[in-house]
Structure 1
Amino acid sequence: MTCKEIQELMWCGEITQQVQEHLQTCERCRAEQATLQELGLAVEAVPIPKPSRSLLPSTADIQAAITAHKRRRFTKWLSAGAVAACLALALTQIPSLLETGKNQSDVSDPSLLPQTTPKQAAPVEQIQTMLGTYHYTLKSQEPSIVKTTLPASFAGSAQGTQENLYYAYANVLSQEVNLDMTTHLGHEVDVYSLPLNETFAGGRIDGYQDCEVVAVFDQNRLVGIWLRTVGGSAMAAIDNKLFGEITNQLWGEWAKEQKLETRSADTVSWTPDQVITKYLDANNRGDHATMGTLLSLNYQFYLMTNGAGSTTSTPIVTGNYYGPMIEPNAKYQVKFVEDIPTGTVDATALFLVRNRQPYAMKTYEVDGGPNAMFFYMTQESKGGPWQIDNISTGP
């Protein structure tokens, strides 16, 4: 099929298997699909005006209809029948009303009335409905489902683990489509993961193609949903908006406002090489909690999400929040290498995934072990503490 035929099918809403296969290889048609999605969102945003006048009949019309009804034939017979019915009802009810000890509250107790519960759609059906609003389709109907417990709070944890950071971030993306996990914190939930036919965030980010939807259900009720790259750490709302576009805040500002940082006051006075030394000392003790607190939230987020997929026991990789394995008790030497220019604010989509612009960054080399290691240090904001932003090993 030609691109013109494919695009005609897309505009008619016929996303067939052939159309999906064509979109995977044709950049022009993917751009047309993105235009269609933007148009759909714009149309949905147009307010529907209310009627300029009441559509109910006038009071005079209603009164005339009642009067006409009263003048119908056989009115006297109907009236007589109504009187007889009332007398019969009274005669049958008087004995029960006179019955001693009768608790009239039993008659009016709503709990004794038949209860009807609206039927709730199955989780996968709820996901499909939500995705369809934003022109996404499921590649598979078979979800990966795991049970997990949401953190008790989005606020930071002093224990070094930062699951709250992940869910606070994911909740920003969920709130974009009018869902919210806030009132479900601390609850045991079911997390569904399903692959999508479309590319991540509408193909806005080069190199990020394969995409999954992650949905959180509490008692079969959809409370959170977002997109993520398969095996990667990029996330987006299902309307394709990225974190920076939703919050309009830099990562450091948002983390501070959400009280995600839990640094003690004395950490502000530590120099970068002191932070590295404390990290190595904690590694010698096997103190992973302390190691985690010395990492930047950005690095912790990367460790929690990089490699996460449908096979992990939770939506995040919880086994490592403290960095790579380092041989303990070696005689390490910490040497400053260089300052890293932070540059100007990047406007690309990949930058907006986290919308991050540190105040200062430095590189240190650590020798003495089997391999040289490079510690990338960051100061998220002016006057803030130095933190480990990444650790890599050399040959």
Structure 2
Amino acid sequence: MTSTIPVNSLSRHIAPLQDALSDIAAAIIASGYYVLGPNVKAFEQAFAGYCGAAHCISVANGTDALELSLRALGVTEGDQVAVVANAAMYGTSAVLACNATPVFIDTNVDDGLMSIQSLQAALDSGAAPKAVIVTHLYGKLADIEAIVTLCHGRGITVLEDCAQSHGATRNGKRAGSFGDIASFSFYPTKNLGALGDGGAIVTNDAQLAETTTRLRQYGWSAKYTNSLRGGRNSRLDELQAAMLLHMLPLLDGWNTRRREIANRYAAGIRNPRIVVSGPAGDDHVGHLYVVRSSARDALREHLQAEGVQTEVHYPVCDHRQPCHAGAFDGVRLPNTEADAVSVLTLPCFPELTDAEADQVIAACNRF
């Protein structure tokens, strides 16, 4: 092979935008206004409108968005938060940062999303979470409507983790508009990615919006007056906001291309040793395209030899992370644990060509 097909390529993604983004950077530098200025306000308004939410509060990164959302929901020491265990501890880390306790919920057998049956069983067996974090993994919406109905019927709030699902749509509603509050990441590899770190919180609840606005800047109610505990310096800067504002109108087109690639894989990979993900509709924005194989390591070696780069998302379940030192040894999540040893990520990004996707398909079929 003369070259390797990358699992993602930020250089190819940004190249068509380089001149425009350079002009934006020059304008921001010349403006002398770098934090919480007009570009942040403009992006927050535009992104709230895009998500179908009343409010958007931009923050420094997606992890802060998760934690500050939990704090706004009143999660504190002694509380429980239900969360999946298959997304590199992002949600779990936010729970622990609030001194709360994670209640791990198993996933569906075929898509890695929170199982409503497992959530129902946890609630029926005595778990009493104050909130549930619903992660829309790999770009696909979870069974969010049913989860919201179940949780709200028991007085439990719902935080959507939309870090991988910007623009996913179901029944006319977009990711981030189903629950009580939602978090987004704008890490460069996301469907809408900045040229650095960034994040946002969206909500239709004015009180939650006000609380998160205070929490992102030290808990201030007025300058130098700290009225809320748990605040920090977590602000999206003007440069990233302006660049994200420029890229936002391109997001739906990028998502369409990701879906095309995902559906090309789903239709073309025909190998009994590889389980493909199902077709991608509007509720799946193809952030990652994963397959499952009981011979994952061998498949990965084969694809590398064929010139196809892959990645493993995510090999260590949250409840098995070494930092917990055995605290969750009694937790059993069979579907989550099965995915940890079988899921493999194939190349999927908007600039991937049809010819490259076909090479990936052919390599998989030769395994």
> So what's the TM-score if we normalise by structure 1?
0.21
Higher relative contact order (CA 8 A, sep 6+): 2
